[in-house]
Amino acid sequence: MTQPIPFQSIPFQNVARLPMPGDNVAIVTRKVPAGTVIEYNGQSLTLDYTVLEGHRFAIAPIAPGEHLLSWELPFGIATQGIAPGQYVHNEEMLEALGGRSISFALPTTPNFKDFVPPYVLDEANFQPAEGLPAYAHERAFWGYPRAGGRGVGTRNTIILLGTSSRTGGFVKQLEARLAGVANAWPNIDGIVAVAHTEGGHDDPHNTEFVLRTLAGFVVHPNAGAVLCVDYGVEPVTNALLQEYLADNDYPLDAVPHEFLTLTDGFQTSLDRAEGIVRDWLEDVNATSRDLTPLSELKLALQCGGSDAFSGVSGNPLIGWVAREVVRYGGGANLAETDELIGAEPYVLQKVKNVETARHFLDLIARFQERVGWHGHTAEGNPSGGNKFRGLYNIVLKSIGAARKKDPETRLDGVLEYGERMAEGGYFFMDSPGNDLESIAGQVASGCNAIFFVTGNGSITNFPFVPTIKVVTTTQRYQLLSRDMDVNAGRYLDGTPMDELGAETLDLTVRVASGERTVGEKAGHSQVQLWRDWRQTEPGHVEEISRMPQPKGLSLPLLPNLQSPIPNLQYPAFPKAAGSTSGPSAERIALILPTSLCSGQIAKMAAAQFNSKGLGKEAGISRFVALAHTEGCGSSGGGTGDPYVRSLVGYLRHPAAAHVLLLEHGCEKTHNDYFRHELAERGIDLSRYGWASIQSDGGIDAVLEKVEKWFVEQFAGEKAPAPITAGVENVRIALLNSGELSDVAAIQLGRLAAGIVAGGGGVVVPENSGLLSSPAFLAETIGPGPHLPTLAYGQALADAGDTTGFHVMETPTSHWAETLTGLGGTGVEAVLAYVGGHPVEGHPLVPVLQVTGEESVEQRYSADMDAVLGDDPAGWAQEMADLLAATLGRSHKPKAAQVGNIDFQFTRGLLGVSM
């Protein structure tokens, strides 16, 4: 019988690191197989299980009830005796690994439980800390000096700001119109859109945060000029923003600016906005870089896609740089409130005064309280990717995140979200752990450079502030070298921190002086403000959780209705093999990002493939990417996860002929997560493609892989011969925006009733004015109230009835969130009656805008797909004809023609940023 070959012993330093000498667990620097013998301090430690890179094993005996220590701080309590060499693992980490494709044995039960050490500020014995000694010599960078106390810019950018979510599509199209214009002006670094998800829905609770953030953007030192755009009717408007700027002494007069309210058609308004920007070019270009002291530099310190080495290499490195910048008189901004829970002893070991310490702890308590209103705990912050890469719980994540503050650095002050940094020093700013939301607040506070540390390889960039990306290990840097600026893994490989820090400080000065970062060269960015939350007090979680769940059964029409079945025929594609839906109106190649972090790369892929004309021979009309803000940095909740449910709905959409899921790699909802979700629903996984930005080697490599997968799907595939579809095949959504007259409501009701009577399906969102209109209800389902028949984003294919009249639940009034949920149901067109300003469309589902209102016709007729005729009796058939033309692909909706589209999943009643 062949004997197994014994493992050779390996020196500890070859495979593991100990963050601090007093720790009783070590971190492995690469995957180490079970049975490996590690030589440590004269001991031979044998690993009982395979330990993944970034995970921990004991180096000393840990008795039941004793603390597990990393960075000499407790993060867990042993639930059984743990011997040296044993893999340490909690329940959450085992659960996270269980959802991954793992080829080796895992422990079956945890050997420690989480421990969040309570922290009590000892005010009686508090000792104020001395600040860092300032350097006697100056250091400088080449920046853009600004008047009015705005500071010094590291970039000179014209900002196109959507004041609310409703004008996001407008500023993005304006940016596209002006693409390349800045290249002709040597002192203008770009003309960029800032679109976001907030300020456009009723009854927001985050208005103060939104206004403070937008105000900070407007006067930011990197702003050469700012155009703010609204419709004038949103909850957050230009007028409200102007008032906030004035009331809070923001130096608005020191910034070239214009507040533009859209009162004309989309294209006419674009012409006007373009003229405003072009008139600025010469003046903005007249500002040139000048040599300015490093005291004008303010660093945003961020980490995302963190791993076990973030706190060993990457975060200490940017903490070193921040320390030096502070000594030169500059500023640094630490954020992500929930990612410092458990690290309070470290953060507060050096503080300017007791008031600052107290304020820091108050903000942590306030954050925990808000999260608790939604039925969550901040301890749920770590993502599946964090756990997969060794951050088992919030304490380990927090201890590592806190290392962005160097041990020598004093905490000088505490800021509210987006509050301006008035002076140099090291500050903490309240924010969620969501990277994009946190960065927006730091930029609003005046940070003119961003450090972003990532263990997994996050590719986040901001539109008008340069982001220096720091990766924690050499192995990950080699995989993603074209997407990262700094390899902090060199510290693990033996480079002294002082040497690496000095190099990174030099790079920071060069970037501040105009050298472009890797992210700026890549040309993609995202903005997200601290998203709204629905609960404002405790006590509602159980009530919401007990709300009845939609049963999927359509609502019956009133008996004896006289609505005629509309003449509605159009060419369609036959039902695909294995599909649960009928004929499809379009054949689309869909790229679905599994989280916010992969959204911009998905959009890049779709744009590239559309420009190449891929799939045309297979009958593919276009590639679509559904970029969004979810999948990480939040806790969804309540009656199921609306994001997951909706995304699965899109995977099954009738128009989606070929679908690929694109993960970033470290999110909560990664590819393996959705493999599990689809398998649970009995859906054939072989229908889908899968790609990973991190695991497949970065942006260029993953784009190549995604293109190859689609080309393979199209190989030998011919466009199906069209068939004639009728009203029985129609699945549409109806809703309204703005004023709704009884005349319009009656005709919309007759259209809906006629489609349903003909065997088709109609979905109306719960928040639509149609369902509160007696005139509409009298033509369809009768007086209410009517409970939803579909959950938000629930696919009709999963419902009891795929036809008939359905009501979809809508937790908010947010227009884009409503459209996104409707798309998840599988409708193939949305018809919106417009009684106010034009509305955004949807990237996948055609959204038609019709009106019979004279006021809308006078202002916005160019944006309407139909201005209905003088005789309302013919409106139902007019709308049916428009639907037939759209479903038959002979009419492209106006919103899609001009690019006024948006896409945003809801977080429901219990979702909250974390």
Could you tell me the two tokens for 752?
A: 């809906």
Q: So what's the pLDDT on residue 577?
A: 62
pLDDT of 1 > 50? The answer is no
pLDDT (tens digit, 9 = 90+) per residue, 601-610? 999 999 999 9
Q: So what's the pLDDT on residue 578?
A: 57
According to DSSP, the residues that pair with 829 across neighbouring strands are: 732
Please give the share of the chain, as a percent, with pLDDT higher than 90: 86
Q: What is the mean pLDDT of residues 380-407?
A: 87
Q: So what's the pLDDT on residue 247?
A: 98
pLDDT of 2 > 60? The answer is no
Q: Is the dihedral of CA 587, 593, 596, 598 positive or negative?
A: negative
Q: What is the mean pLDDT of residues 64-73?
A: 95
| Cβ density class 608-642: b for 16+ within 10 Å, e for less | ebbeeebbeebbbbbbbbbbbbbbbbbbbbbbebb
Q: So what's the pLDDT on residue 580?
A: 62
Q: So what's the pLDDT on residue 4?
A: 45
* Residue 694 confidence class, pLDDT cut points 50, 70, 90: confident
* Residue 638 confidence class, pLDDT cut points 50, 70, 90: very low
Evaluate the omega torsion of the peptide bond into residue 785 and state whether it is cis, within 30 degrees of 0: yes
Q: So what's the pLDDT on residue 582?
A: 80
pLDDT (tens digit, 9 = 90+) per residue, 417-448? 999 999 999 999 999 999 999 999 999 999 99
Please give the share of the chain, as a percent, with pLDDT higher than 70: 98
pLDDT (tens digit, 9 = 90+) per residue, 191-230? 999 999 999 998 899 999 999 999 999 999 999 999 999 9
Q: So what's the pLDDT on residue 636?
A: 59
698 alpha carbon, distance to own chain's centre: 19
pLDDT of 631 > 90? The answer is no
Q: So what's the pLDDT on residue 3?
A: 47
Q: What is the mean pLDDT of residues 815-842?
A: 97
Host H or E run for residue 806: strand 804-808
Could you tell me the two tokens for 670?
A: 């990664």
Q: So what's the pLDDT on residue 856?
A: 95
Residue that the structure tokens 């492209």 belong to: 892
Q: So what's the pLDDT on residue 635?
A: 65
pLDDT of 640 > 90? The answer is no
Cβ contact 128:351 at 8 Å: yes
Host H or E run for residue 815: helix 815-825
CA distances from 888 to 239, 573, 856, 894 (A): 43, 10, 27, 16
pLDDT (tens digit, 9 = 90+) per residue, 146-173? 999 999 999 999 999 999 999 999 999 9
pLDDT (tens digit, 9 = 90+) per residue, 856-884? 999 999 999 999 999 999 999 999 999 99
pLDDT (tens digit, 9 = 90+) per residue, 744-794? 999 999 999 999 999 999 999 999 999 999 999 999 999 989 999 999 999
> Three-state SS string across 715-780, please?
CCCCCCCCEEECHHHCEEEEEEEECCCHHHHHHHHHHHHHHHHCCCEEEEECCCHHHHCHHHHHCC
According to DSSP, the residues that pair with 590 across neighbouring strands are: 624, 659
Q: Which of 113-117, 159-163, 258-262, 819-823 has the lowest mean pLDDT?
A: 113-117
β-pair type (449-454, 425-429): unpaired
Could you tell me the two tokens for 449?
A: 């450079």
Residue that the structure tokens 């969804």 belong to: 636
* Residue 639 confidence class, pLDDT cut points 50, 70, 90: very low
Q: Is the pTM of this model over 0.85?
A: yes
Cβ contact 465:222 at 8 Å: yes
pLDDT (tens digit, 9 = 90+) per residue, 196-207? 999 999 889 999
DSSP 685: G
* Residue 579 confidence class, pLDDT cut points 50, 70, 90: low
Collapsed DSSP state (helix, strand, coil) of residue 204: coil
Backbone angles phi, psi at 913, to 5 degrees: -70, 140
pLDDT of 294 > 70? The answer is yes
Q: Which of 91-105, 492-506, 573-587 has the lowest mean pLDDT?
A: 573-587
> Three-state SS string across 206-265, please?
CHHHHHHHHHHHHCCCCEEEEEEEECCCCCCCHHHHHHHHHHCCCCHHHCCEEEEECCCC
For residues 673 and 521, give the distance between their C-alpha atoms in angstroms, rounded to a whole number: 32
* Residue 637 confidence class, pLDDT cut points 50, 70, 90: low
Q: What's the first-to-final CA gap in the chain, in angstroms? A: 56
pLDDT (tens digit, 9 = 90+) per residue, 652-670? 999 999 999 999 988 888 8
Host H or E run for residue 542: helix 541-545
Collapsed DSSP state (helix, strand, coil) of residue 705: helix
pLDDT (tens digit, 9 = 90+) per residue, 475-495? 999 988 999 999 999 999 999
* Residue 110 confidence class, pLDDT cut points 50, 70, 90: very high
pLDDT of 463 > 70? The answer is yes
Collapsed DSSP state (helix, strand, coil) of residue 67: strand
pLDDT of 816 > 70? The answer is yes
Q: So what's the pLDDT on residue 5?
A: 46
